[in-house]
Amino acid sequence: MFWQALVAARDFGRLHEIASVLIRYGFGDVVRRMGMANVLERAGRVLLWKHAEELAHLEPPARVRRALEDLGPTFVKLGQVLATRVDLFAPEWIAEFSKLQDSAPAAPYAKIKQQLTEDMGGLPEEIFAHFNAEPLAAASIAQVHRARLMDGSEVVVKVRRPGIRSVIEADLRWLMRLAELAESENPELRNFRPQEVVRQFEQSLRRELDFSSECRNAEHIAQNFSGYTDQDTATQSAADKAPESTMAGLPSPLPAIIVIPRVFWQWTGERVCVQEFIAGIPGRNLADVDRAGLDRKMLARRGAHAVLKMILEDGFFHADPHPGNVFYLPGNRIAFIDFGMVGRLTDERRDQMIRVLLGLVRHEPARVADVMLDWSGDSAVDEAALLLEIQTFVDQYHGLPLKQLSIGAMLTDLVAILREHRIVLPADLALLIKAFITLEGMGRELDPDFDMAGEAIPMLEQSLRSRYTPYALIKRGWRTAGDMLALIADMPHDLSRLLRAARRGRLEIHIDVTNLKHVGNQLDGAANRLVIGIVVAALIIGSSIVMTVSGGPALLGLPLFGLLGYLGAAIGAVWLLLSIWKSSKADRE
């Protein structure tokens, strides 16, 4: 059964916490429907129903967000992932999910010190020239301390919270089973693809728990920006230029425009990572940007060019470029941190996104509709209605100058059309659209006149042209020819295996129909009730016969075995009636 694996002893405590929070925020009906109340009450756990719906006056999005905050780190992270699914949730839900702040009280330094000693092979004071026991920041999964290495390098030490993995593993088991039940039992929730969302979240969270994976992401992006000069940006100011070197009269190399913190791998592992300390102005402190004399317009353009390069050229991008993950440095340089959440795009996905964006700004609805139909997969979509709605949507921007176009607003409206037609974005594109919207918002904060469309179109056109250069065409053609030759070469072997299986009678054809599984479960339940009914009838008949036979043990003057038979029949009949009543109630709901 669904809950048998879930209600193992190790998960009882966490299950009780989850049920209590849901009840407090007015989701008691969810607790009852999912069977959590029955399981916990049978285990002797008391649920405080008297406090149910004490916060039910809040709007549903706010209640869900508050519940996620109280449920702890796994659910806060889930809310942050849901904030990227603009294709599944309306703007008011996305706005609430975006408010989720990943912060928590700091863990005691004694526990942090013990874990650091285990992971680094020595006490912090032996490895670092200085280690600040007070954290710079504390989040639900990790906290960050500032330190200095023996060679004088200023670093930050990110440490995973002790014991956090076991809590997250229990939550992930609960979430996956809940998603399975929701998708199989509720047709409306099935449209949101809960299992796919949970799988995406599980993969993202497991990668985030492994700090070495985050550091590999950082090095990958740093390598992509090696030698990057951002030639499309306006002429660099004098502050950008490095001083002349006195050696041989040669100029010193210009400092990197985009800075990615260096990783110190000798001290980095799954639970701890040591990276270069970035001494810059946090992206939220725009007043400090002005006081430092930095050029806001140039910062906005450079940030946009950097993220567009990651998306359009590299296919590997920072999926959460919000102000908390950005620092501004002298010389109008930009530093990115926190690479726990990254996006990856195949060539096909990049091509699709380029066609959509160019279709929007060039007023080509047919091009946009073609890509959206590709995204719909096997879902039934009214193509004529979709094309008409996109035509109407694109026409409202016709004639507007590029400067007045907001790519973020256009993508938000486009995603609303996707929701209306029940087209679910692939997970990688959901991250991409969220990154675009965040990027444009940051650009507008820096420079109210920031023209995202004007910055993006040249890069989009260049990326599109680069896909049709002779070299690119030859490369794709060679790859396709190689795939075709490999398929032809494998065909005799595959055909031989198919015929061999047919000769041995082992040829199998698997057809997976989701609704048939539900019908099978119903038939299985009906068969069980029928068997119990037959057993009850047999017990009644047998007990009646035993009652007519004299001799043998007796109770209250009646044959004992006859009484036991009637008792068994009564228990079976009560179970049968309760089963039928529960089944009828479920069908009505």
pLDDT per position as a tens digit, 59-79: 888 888 888 888 877 888 888
Smallest CA-to-CA distance from 431 within 305, 347, 316, 323 is with: 316
Decide: 162 and 111 in contact? Cβ < 8 Å.
yes
Q: Label residue 427 exposed, middle or buried (CB < 10 Å: 0-12, 13-18, 19+).
A: buried
pLDDT value for 233? 46
- Each domain of the chain, given as residue ranges in start order, spans 105-138+141-235+264-277, 343-470, 518-588
Share of the chain above pLDDT 90, in %: 14
What tokens appear for 342 in the block?
A: 């990254």
Quick: pLDDT tens for 515-524.
555 666 667 6
Residue 551 pLDDT greater than 80, yes or no: no
pLDDT value for 49? 53
Decide: 281 and 330 in contact? Cβ < 8 Å.
no
Residue 5 pLDDT greater than 90, yes or no: no
pLDDT value for 251? 46
Instruction: List, in sequence order, the alpha helices (H) in 310-382.
Output: 347-361, 365-376
Decide: 89 and 436 in contact? Cβ < 8 Å.
no
Single-letter amino acid, residue 352: Q
Residue 7 pLDDT greater than 60, yes or no: no
Most confident option among 138-147, 377-386, 480-489, 576-585:
138-147
pLDDT value for 250? 43
What tokens appear for 491 in the block?
A: 């065909």
Cα separation, 121 vs 125, in Å, equals: 12
pLDDT value for 231? 54
Smallest CA-to-CA distance from 84 within 424, 459, 323, 380 is with: 424
pLDDT value for 248? 42
- Say which range, 386-390, 392-396, 424-428, 454-458, has the weakest mean pLDDT: 424-428
**Long-range interactions of 125-130: CB distance < 8 A, separation 24+:** 127/267, 128/157
Quick: pLDDT tens for 391-445.
888 877 766 676 677 777 787 788 788 777 777 777 677 778 878 788 888 888 8
Sign of the alpha-carbon dihedral angle for 2, 6, 12, 13: negative
When pLDDT is averaged across residues 34-58 and rounded to a whole number, the result is: 55
Q: Is 320 considered catalytic here? A: yes
Q: Which residue has the higher pLDDT, 214 or 58?
A: 214
Cα separation, 487 vs 479, in Å, equals: 12
Residue 469 pLDDT greater than 60, yes or no: yes
Quick: pLDDT tens for 229-271.
765 444 444 344 444 333 344 444 556 889 999 999 998 999 9
Mean pLDDT, all residues of the chain: 77
Q: Which residue has the higher pLDDT, 137 or 46?
A: 137
* Maximum alpha-carbon separation in the chain: 122
Residue 160 pairs with which residues in a beta bridge? 142
Q: Parallel, antiparallel, or unpaired: how do β-strands 333-336 and 258-259 relate?
A: parallel
Residue 188 pLDDT greater than 80, yes or no: no
Residue 213 pLDDT greater than 70, yes or no: yes
Residue 585 pLDDT greater than 90, yes or no: no
Cα separation, 413 vs 447, in Å, equals: 23
When pLDDT is averaged across residues 195-202 and rounded to a whole number, the result is: 80
Spell 527-548 as b/e; 16+ CB within 10 A means b: eeeeeeeeebeebbebbeebee
Residue 50 pLDDT greater than 60, yes or no: no
Active-site pick, 295, 320, 338, 451? 320
- Cα dihedral 510, 516, 518, 519, rounded to 10, equals -140
